[in-house]
Structure formats: structure tokens, C-alpha cells
Amino acid sequence: MTLNILFPVLNEENRLEQGILKTLDYLKHLETVTFKLTIVDNGSMDKTGEISARLCEMHSEVEYIRISERGVGAAFRAGVAENTCDYVGYMDVDLSTDIHHLEEVITLFKTHHSIDVINGSRLNKASHTIGRKWYRNLSSYGLTFLLKLFLQMKATDSICGFKFFKHQVAKELIALSSDEKGWFFIIELLLRAERLSYQVVELPVRWEDDHNTTVHYFKLITNYLIQIKRLFIEFHFKH
């Protein structure tokens, strides 16, 4: 089994090296999987590129891709297009999701070959979140409510930065999905996987809020509403 973990980054000079090295050290000590860590830089203007180049020189398991388009969706598509591993997924480089869940991901894929997608969830009853701001909780639960109401989503959480796919499944889902560049692209992949009856396993996670996030909530929520309307029309009125 081979696993490629994508790290979409934008101006992450302060957190990049620590996140990559911690992940690298953890997976090396597991000794249960052959892996790659791919930094996908979507338009950084700081020292992210320089730090990435140094990490690649020092560690053969680390790769670096730079794209001109900004957005997690664009970064994920680029990473999957370059992937050669059996499984591919992505994590936030701030490691908000407890890194120890990687062992669970590896074990699940190794022991249950029918699993197509593993979806990390912060909102599962068995999950544990730390330092979650009230407005982030509100936006997460509100988004989940809308996705369940209009698009019949089964998952408890759609946007947690901890998702993994069989490589072929990721390619198939990307081919069916839009060219959305932002976060909603990842949500769309999950919705299409559920709709097409791929085997999706939900993984409750331990998650700690990142208080240094640069997410612009109004802009993000507005885009989510536009994308939900688009998929609602496609799923219910187009054949």
C-alpha cells in the first residue's frame, strides 16, 4: 500500500516546516506504509516555496507542486493529477486534526479493501473538538443542515480537512465534478461519492481549532450557498 498526503498551502511560512516534519516523523515511526507528502502551493507570496524546496532536498518523501490558481479545490485536483500512489488524501498543514488518526486511516484501507473514501468528521458524536469558536460551530452546523436538507448528505461533517480516497476513485469523482477552486470542491467530491454509492467511512476525529485561520467567512458562506443551489438543480432536475 502506498499513500500520498497532499498539503494545500497558501502563505504558510510560519507553520509549514513544523507540520511537514511532524507528519514525516510520525509516519516513519509507524513503519506500516510507503508514503509521500506533497506540498501543493496555490499562489503563496511569502517564503513557502523556499521552505518547501529545502524540505524536498532534505527528505526524499517530500514533494512540491506550485500552481497559479488559488484554492483548496484547485490544489487537490493538481495533487491528484500528479499522484502515483494507491491512495491519496489531504490534511491541513496546521495539523488541526490529530495526526494519530493517520494510523486509523492506514489500518482501515489495509484491512477493508472495499472502502473507497474515508471522511474525517469533527461533528460526529464520538469526535472531540478543542477551542472551537461559537461562530465556527454555527457555520459548520448550518452548512451541514443545508447539505442534508437540499442534497441529502449522509455524513455528519463535510469540510473537515482530513479526507482520503482510493486514487482511482478520486480521479473518477474529480472527472464528474465542477471546476470550483475553493473549499466547496471537497464537499462536492463527498456528495458525489455518497450519491454514486461509493463506500464512504466516517472517521470521528480529535480536532483543535486554529485561531490563526485566514478564512473569510462571509465570502465563504456566500459561495457555499451558490454551490448548493447549483448542485440542487443538477441532482434534482437534470438527467
CATH code of the domain occupying 2-237: 3.90.550.10
- Look at residue 209 in the predicted model and tell me its pLDDT: 81
Give me the pLDDT at residue 218, please. Answer: 75
pTM of the predicted model as reported, rounded to 2 decimal places: 0.94
Residue 83 confidence (pLDDT): 98
pLDDT at 221: 85
For 110-215, where are the E strands, in sequence order? 117-121, 128-130, 162-166, 200-204, 206-208
Residue 201 forms beta bridges with which residues?
A: 118
Per 3-state DSSP, what percentage of the chain is helix, strand, and coil (rounded to 5)? 45, 20, 35
From edge to edge, which strands make up the β-sheet containing 87-91?
62-67, 34-42, 2-9, 87-91, 162-166, 117-121, 200-204
Q: What is the pLDDT of residue 220?
A: 82
Check residue 216 and give its pLDDT.
Answer: 65
How confident is the model at residue 141, as a pLDDT? Answer: 87
Write down the pLDDT at residue 171: 98
Q: Where are the domains of the chain?
A: 2-237
pLDDT of amino acid 32: 87
- Angle (CA) 44-24-208 rounded to 5° is 70
Q: Are 47 and 13 in contact (CB under 8 A)?
A: yes
**What is the pLDDT, as a whole number, of residue 213?**
59
Separation in Å, CA 122 to CA 1, 19, 96, 179, 223: 27, 20, 10, 26, 22
Tell me how far apart the 2 most distant CA atoms of the chain are, in Å: 52
One digit per residue, the tens of pLDDT, for the chain of length 239 reads 999 999 999 999 999 999 999 999 999 999 889 999 999 999 999 999 999 999 999 999 999 999 999 999 999 999 999 999 999 999 999 999 999 999 999 999 999 999 999 999 999 999 998 876 756 667 788 999 999 999 999 999 999 999 999 999 999 999 999 999 999 999 999 999 999 999 999 999 999 986 565 566 678 889 999 999 999 999 988 65
pLDDT in tens, 60-101: 999 999 999 999 999 999 999 999 999 999 999 999 999 999
